[in-house]
């Protein structure tokens, strides 16, 4: 999501004043007649600017609770809560819920995740991808990561089944991950139009049964690589809008790893070929500003 908040802590530099006080004390303590010390003026405090907080839906983190031992799961949810996080995102692979065949759902693992999030008052985002083999072009083959389903109707049925089961309990659903990378799009050239079809199908299915649930578009990978292995994220996003994506998501998903650049570094600084941050504007967190 593209909202963010920056907080900075500024502390006045006290070095010269501390040195002055130490020297004054040493001189007073030297031999010779004692004199009434001259009062040391109290320095007036310096006012340091502090950036105001930016409105944000809260802070969250990704979790992988699906296959964790039950003891670890029971341990981790209170830790998330104690750390002050109010959102978590859990990947839900379609194949792990409906892998046995159309309409044959296995809910136990996901029920556990939803129950724990609810008990700890944490908002839950479910990221949906990972199609089952039966929904791939060749059902006898294990699909590659991010493989796109042949039947959008089957995909819509899955999204609708999720929203029906967890209506009012799951705050948001994110549709796919990084479809602007070939490795997340079945190993073929990224297809913004195809992704919008996937997004629209899931959005409609979810909203029909849970209108209050939020739908988030896939987090796009910051990249400058060209097809066939990838598509630059600004180009992919523009193509999504051109394909009519706008009505079919409530929040825009963006991935912003920042790489090795500090969070305050601007895209212009990151793009400096003589700089230390990689020489590309997308090598920083603030690249999200270019995607607005």
Domain extents for the chain?
60-255
Q: What pLDDT is recorded for position 194?
A: 96
Question: Any idea which fold 60-255 has?
Answer: TIM Barrel (3.20.20)
A 10 A CB-CB count for 152 gives: 16
Per-residue confidence in pLDDT tens, the chain, 292 aa:
444 333 333 333 333 333 333 333 333 333 444 445 555 555 454 444 544 554 666 889 998 888 777 788 889 999 999 999 999 999 999 999 999 999 999 999 999 999 999 999 999 999 999 999 899 865 545 555 678 888 999 999 999 999 999 999 999 999 999 999 999 998 999 999 999 999 999 999 999 999 999 999 999 999 999 999 999 999 999 999 999 999 999 999 999 898 889 999 999 999 999 988 889 999 999 999 999 8
pLDDT at 31: 41
DSSP character at residue 69: -
Angle at 100 between CA 98 and CA 103, to 5 degrees: 50
Alpha-carbon span 214 to 184, nearest angstrom: 23
Long-range contacts of 132-136 (CB under 8 A, 24+ apart): 132/94, 132/95, 132/98, 132/99, 133/95, 133/99, 134/99, 134/101, 134/102, 135/94
State residue 220's pLDDT score.
Answer: 97
């Amino acid at each position: 999501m593209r909202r963010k908040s920056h907080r900075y802590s500024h502390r006045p530099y006290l070095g010269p004043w501390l040195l002055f006080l130490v020297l004054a004390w040493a001189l007073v303590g030297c031999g010779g007649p004692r004199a009434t010390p001259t009062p040391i003026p109290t320095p007036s405090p310096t006012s340091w600017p502090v950036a105001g907080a930016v409105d944000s839906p809260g802070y969250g983190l990704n979790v992988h609770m699906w296959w964790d031992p039950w003891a670890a799961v029971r341990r981790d949810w209170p830790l998330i809560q104690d750390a002050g996080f109010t959102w978590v995102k859990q990947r839900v692979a379609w194949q792990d819920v409906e892998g046995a065949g159309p309409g044959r759902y296995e809910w136990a693992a996901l029920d556990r995740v939803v129950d724990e999030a609810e008990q700890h008052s944490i908002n839950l985002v479910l990221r949906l991808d990972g199609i089952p083999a039966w929904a791939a072009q060749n059902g006898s083959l294990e699909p590659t990561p991010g493989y796109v389903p042949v039947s959008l109707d089957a995909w819509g049925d899955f999204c609708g089944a999720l929203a029906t089961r967890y209506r009012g309990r799951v705050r948001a659903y994110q549709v796919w991950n990084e479809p602007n990378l070939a490795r997340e799009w079945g190993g073929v050239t990224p297809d913004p139009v195809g992704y919008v079809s996937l997004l629209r199908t899931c959005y409609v299915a979810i909203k029909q049964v849970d209108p209050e649930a939020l739908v988030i578009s896939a987090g796009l990978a910051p990249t400058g690589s060209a097809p066939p292995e990838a598509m630059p994220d600004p180009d992919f996003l523009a193509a999504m809008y051109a394909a009519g994506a706008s009505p079919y998501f409530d929040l825009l998903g963006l991935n912003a790893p920042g790489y090795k650049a500090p969070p305050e570094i601007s895209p212009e600084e990151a793009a400096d070929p003589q700089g230390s941050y990689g020489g590309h504007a997308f090598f920083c967190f603030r690249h999200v500003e270019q995607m607005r």
